[in-house]
């Protein structure tokens, strides 16, 4: 009787502890979800680990598409920082699809309209949005690596069969049977088989353990697909049907992955410990892994489609949040044009990474040549215009009051560096970067469509005479009727040499009480002020250097030659 009472007390304590842990877990997840709901419309404060973005971009690398934003343009525009500012995803699928979306401009207006409908739906329907956010919170992330990295390496595992595991299990049962014939021999044989099975299990489990993480994520995606299939949310009608199809096709994986995805190892309680040893001795999860592996290998397309569909849904939610976080934004008006028809209108554009940006506007149907003093705002303006175009054509959201333009192929050559590893000088890196723009201009001329390009300080890596001569000819090539080129330069000669092909604008500085003030306001016409010599004076350079430099500069501007 006392034993029953003791057993009952132990059972009661176990139930109490488990109930407390369950309650705490529910409270923790509820608190996290409330934070996710409340943070909608706020900029992301997530911190990224070293190398994390390299794994996030794997989906993008596996899905090449025409006119994607190339590495040079992506880095010129500091798009990693833009991505991090936007990304409030809760899942790995959302992380990876958002990255892909920011690097993959839409090439059709119908797709953009559907994309806009989805974003607007989640912005307006709070209850549906919360349901979706809850599902993606449950889906979560994988850890360090991308699902696609595991999929790419499935071949490393080779062909895996269960025959030997079944043989070892039969041998184990034979040892138990032999104990009834000769207990000493049976016990020794059983111990030998148990040791053999445990050693073999640990050796093989080490090889497959990373892939079990990916299988668990696939199962969570299937769970999300199943739950979405039961939802009546209008905003995901198209994705819901396709997710249901993926779920139906992968029922074999679900059946063959129970021990892998549901049963966690090493929980510490006695029952789990016993089950762990049963699984190890009989190779139960290795057998299930092999079955699940075959199911995964047979449904790689469905897995990829689930990542795409789930990522697309969460990205639509994320873009709505990003819009609400901006001080101002517009839904761009884009048009599909073949050949001429390149007018671009942007009103009150700004750079979203700046804490206190100055807004500017531009309306042009030809190239734009920017001049102005150092640090006056030329490069920032180029990046702001380029970013407006990229965001308009990828996430259909523009940090401006108005954006109207054709669909462009977007390229830049702005923040280049010499390549020490390959031994290429800055000039070689620069002319290669500009050559790729010229190639796209030629290609667009043959295929139809418009090119939008940005060049900061054309050919700065060479001498003045050759720079001006070559820059003039390059810039004329970039003034074709299907191209808009924004370029910044310190070479005032270009403003006269290219005045027929380009609209001239400038930024200027103001020197007040021995200090330089930059209003960062875009002004029409070429620059008429300079600050380089003035800055020398402010820093205490010899007066003779200042006077002679000003005289030489004044003569050149007036006469067009050096004295």
Instruction: Please write the tens of the pLDDT for every residue from 308-328.
Output: 999 999 999 999 999 999 999
Looking at the structure, tell me whether residues 418 and 303 fall in a common domain.
Answer: no
Looking at the structure, tell me whether residues 183 and 277 fall in a common domain.
Answer: yes
281 inside domain: yes
Mode of pairing for the β-strands spanning 483-488 and 450-456:
parallel
Q: Does 264 have pLDDT greater than 60?
A: no
What would the pLDDT profile of 145-165 be if each residue is shown by its tens digit? 888 888 888 877 878 888 888
Nearest to 303 by CA among 102, 93, 65, 133: 93
Looking at the structure, tell me whether residues 281 and 391 fall in a common domain.
Answer: no
Q: Where are the alpha helices (H) located in 395-451, listed in sequence order?
A: 426-447
How far is 38 from 31, CA to CA, in rounded Å?
Answer: 11
Q: Does 337 have pLDDT greater than 80?
A: no
Q: Does 461 have pLDDT greater than 70?
A: no
Average confidence (pLDDT) over 455-459: 85
pLDDT band at 373 (very low <50, low <70, confident <90, very high): confident
Q: What percent of the chain has pLDDT over 70?
A: 87
Q: Does 395 have pLDDT greater than 80?
A: yes
259 compared with 305, residue with greater pLDDT: 305
Burial 194-220 (b: 16+ CB within 10 A, else e): eeebeebbeeebeebeebbebbbbbbb
pLDDT at position 43 is: 83
Give the CA distances from residue 396 to residues 107, 110, 115, 118, in Å, rounded to whole numbers and listed in that order.
12, 12, 8, 11
- The DSSP symbol for 236 reads G
Looking at the structure, tell me whether residues 414 and 475 fall in a common domain.
Answer: yes
129 inside domain: no
Q: Which of 310, 344, 364 is the last residue of a domain?
A: 310
19 compared with 284, residue with greater pLDDT: 284
58 inside domain: no
13 inside domain: no
Looking at the structure, tell me whether residues 406 and 516 fall in a common domain.
Answer: yes
Q: Does 119 have pLDDT greater than 90?
A: yes
Looking at the structure, tell me whether residues 181 and 228 fall in a common domain.
Answer: yes
3-state secondary structure of 401: coil
Task: Read off the pTM.
Answer: 0.86
Is residue 129 within 8 Å of 40, Cβ to Cβ? yes
Judged by average pLDDT, the poorest of 203-212, 282-291, 419-428 is 419-428
Q: Does 336 have pLDDT greater than 60?
A: yes
Residue identified by tokens 């206190």 is 356
Looking at the structure, tell me whether residues 203 and 277 fall in a common domain.
Answer: yes
Looking at the structure, tell me whether residues 168 and 270 fall in a common domain.
Answer: yes
> What's the total number of domains in the chain?
2
pLDDT at position 25 is: 47
Looking at the structure, tell me whether residues 289 and 358 fall in a common domain.
Answer: no
pLDDT at position 369 is: 95
Average confidence (pLDDT) over 50-74: 94
Judged by average pLDDT, the poorest of 131-140, 160-169, 327-336, 430-439 is 160-169
53 inside domain: no
Is residue 505 within 8 Å of 370, Cβ to Cβ? yes
Looking at the structure, tell me whether residues 495 and 377 fall in a common domain.
Answer: yes
Average confidence (pLDDT) over 377-382: 93
Query: Secondary structure of the chain: what % helix, strand, coil (to 5)?
Result: 60, 10, 30
Tokens of 272: 């789990």
Looking at the structure, tell me whether residues 377 and 518 fall in a common domain.
Answer: yes
Chain-wide mean pLDDT for the chain?
Answer: 85
Which domain does 439 fall in, by range? 333-529
555 inside domain: no
Q: Does 192 have pLDDT greater than 50?
A: yes
pLDDT at position 42 is: 87
Q: Which of 32-36, 479-483, 517-521 has the highest mean pLDDT?
A: 479-483
What would the pLDDT profile of 432-444 be if each residue is shown by its tens digit? 889 999 999 999 9
Q: In CATH, what number is assigned to the domain containing residue 403?
A: 3.40.50.300
pLDDT at position 82 is: 97
CA 543 from chain centre, in angstroms, equals 52
Q: Which of 278, 310, 342 is the last residue of a domain?
A: 310
Is residue 391 within 8 Å of 397, Cβ to Cβ? yes
Task: Centre a 10 Å sphere on the Cβ of residue 56 and count the other Cβ atoms it contains.
Answer: 23
376 inside domain: yes
pLDDT at position 165 is: 81
142 inside domain: no
Average confidence (pLDDT) over 255-270: 63
How far is 474 from 480, CA to CA, in rounded Å?
Answer: 11
Looking at the structure, tell me whether residues 352 and 495 fall in a common domain.
Answer: yes
186 CB burial (10 A radius; 0-12, 13-18, 19+): middle
Q: How many residues are there in the chain?
A: 563
């Amino acid at each position: 009787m006392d034993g029953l009472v003791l057993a009952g007390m132990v059972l009661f304590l176990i139930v109490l502890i488990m109930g407390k842990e369950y309650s705490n877990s529910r409270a923790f997840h509820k608190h996290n979800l409330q934070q996710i709901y409340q943070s909608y419309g706020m900029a992301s404060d997530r911190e990224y680990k070293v190398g994390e973005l390299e794994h996030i971009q794997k989906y993008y690398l596996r899905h090449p598409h025409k006119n994607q934003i190339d590495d040079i343009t992506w880095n010129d525009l500091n798009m990693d920082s833009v991505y991090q500012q936007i990304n409030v995803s809760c899942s790995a699928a959302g992380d990876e699809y958002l990255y892909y979306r920011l690097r993959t401009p839409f090439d059709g207006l119908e797709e953009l309209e559907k994309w806009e409908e989805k974003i607007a739906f989640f912005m307006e329907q709070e209850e549906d949005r919360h349901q979706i956010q809850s599902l993606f919170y449950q889906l979560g992330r994988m850890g360090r690596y991308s699902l696609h990295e595991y999929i790419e390496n499935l071949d490393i595992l080779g062909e895996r069969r269960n025959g030997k595991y079944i043989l070892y299990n039969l041998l184990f049962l034979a040892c138990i049977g032999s104990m009834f014939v000769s207990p000493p021999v049976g016990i020794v044989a059983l111990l030998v088989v148990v040791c053999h099975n445990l050693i073999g299990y640990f050796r093989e489990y080490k090889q497959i353990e990373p892939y079990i993480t990916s299988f668990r994520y696939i199962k969570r995606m299937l769970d999300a697909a199943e739950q979405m299939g039961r939802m009546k949310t209008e905003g995901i009608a198209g994705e819901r049907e396709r997710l249901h199809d993926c779920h139906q096709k992968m029922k074999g994986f679900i059946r063959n992955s129970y021990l892998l995805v549901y049963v966690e190892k090493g929980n510490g309680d006695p029952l789990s410990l016993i089950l762990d040893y049963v699984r190890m001795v009989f190779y139960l999860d290795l057998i299930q892994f092999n079955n699940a592996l075959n199911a995964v290998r047979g449904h790689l397309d469905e897995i990829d489609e689930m990542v795409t569909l789930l990522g697309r849904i969460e990205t639509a939610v994320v873009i709505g949040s990003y819009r609400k976080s901006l001080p101002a934004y517009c839904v761009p008006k884009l048009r599909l044009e073949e050949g001429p028809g390149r007018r671009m209108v942007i009103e009150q554009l700004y750079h979203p990474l700046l804490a206190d940006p100055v807004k500017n506007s531009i309306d042009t149907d030809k190239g734009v040549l920017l001049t102005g003093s150092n640090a006056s705002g030329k490069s920032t303006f180029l990046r702001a215009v380029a970013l407006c175009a990229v965001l308009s054509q990828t996430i259909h959201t523009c940090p401006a009051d108005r954006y109207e333009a054709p669909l462009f192929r977007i390229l830049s050559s702005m923040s280049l560096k010499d390549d020490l590893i390959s031994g290429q000088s800055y000039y070689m890196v620069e002319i290669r970067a500009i050559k790729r723009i010229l190639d796209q201009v030629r290609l667009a001329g043959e295929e139809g469509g418009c090119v939008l390009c940005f060049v900061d300080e054309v050919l700065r890596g060479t001498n003045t005479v050759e720079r001006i001569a070559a820059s003039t000819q390059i810039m004329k090539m970039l003034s074709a009727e299907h191209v808009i080129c924004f370029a910044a330069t310190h070479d005032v000669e270009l403003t006269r040499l290219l005045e027929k092909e380009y609209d001239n604008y400038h930024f200027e500085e103001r020197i007040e009480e021995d200090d330089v003030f930059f209003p960062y306001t875009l002004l029409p016409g070429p620059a008429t002020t300079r600050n380089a010599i003035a800055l020398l004076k402010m820093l205490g350079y010899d007066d003779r250097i200042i006077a002679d430099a000003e005289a030489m500069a004044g003569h050149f501007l007036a006469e067009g030659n050096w004295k």
